[in-house]
Amino acid sequence: MGAPTVSDNRRIRWITLNRPDAANALRVQDLDVIAEAVTTDLAGIRAVVITGQGDRAFSAGMHLDTFRDADREGSRRSIASVGRCIAAVRTCSVPTLAVVNGACIGAAFELVLACDLRIAAPGVRFGLPEVKLGVPSVVDAALLPHFIGLSKARELILTGNMYALEELGVDRLVSRVVPHEALESAARELIEQVIAHSPEVLTAQKSLFETWLNCSLRESVDISMDVFATMFDLPSTTENIAAYAAGRSRSSRPPAG
């Protein structure tokens, strides 16, 4: 046990954080494994699912040893590795789903926020305890206000305390809450609904998520319209429109008899 495990099954790539004796805490080398898994050898892979080993924790974030004796330059290199990994997840060309099976802390919380979709077990707890270590929360902690609102996000970050999912607003943070034993099946069910659509449209939509995060409203609208138009160069778009129209036509027919 140690480095995250990566396995492919039925068009889905599963990344499992795999240090359960240390609450699946991450080391810098683990970040490289995750980043590689979401950016390389994706031919035939339609989605990526990230979870933690066991039922105690999704992940406690970066292992404390990462920063215990770090100086300015060393800490900068480590946090840059965190940033690169989480950016790779956020901009992954296929849909990503975090399965939060236990406590989710620090950089692991940011990793979860970077995913497209999230499901969780009841009562799981989240936190960004960086202020308790004398450092600010950074990287994709910047996404937190989009999920739970500015006031609650600042409270969570400034106190450094742990919060139960239910305190943060279930519907704001995750798509589903299911028992531990049903997490894997729920993940498969949700992700299969997503990957039923064409790879081209999912990649285009994901690129627009990033545009919407980083550009002004006017620029986002202009880019979105350009992406919309370019989709009509693809045979898959014509095929999808025809299939959707046929399905609508069938569903609107009165029953026989």
pLDDT at 256: 53
pLDDT at 249: 58
Average pLDDT, the chain: 93
Residues 6+ apart with CB under 8 A from 114: 86, 87, 89, 90, 96, 140, 143
pLDDT at 237: 95
pLDDT tens-digit profile of 47-91? 999 999 998 999 999 998 888 888 999 899 999 999 999 999 999
How many distinct helices (H) and strands (E) make up the chain? 12, 10
Please choose, from the candidates 248, 211, 247, 233, the residue with its C-alpha nearest in 3D space to the C-alpha of residue 90.
Answer: 211
The verdict on pTM exceeding 0.75 is yes
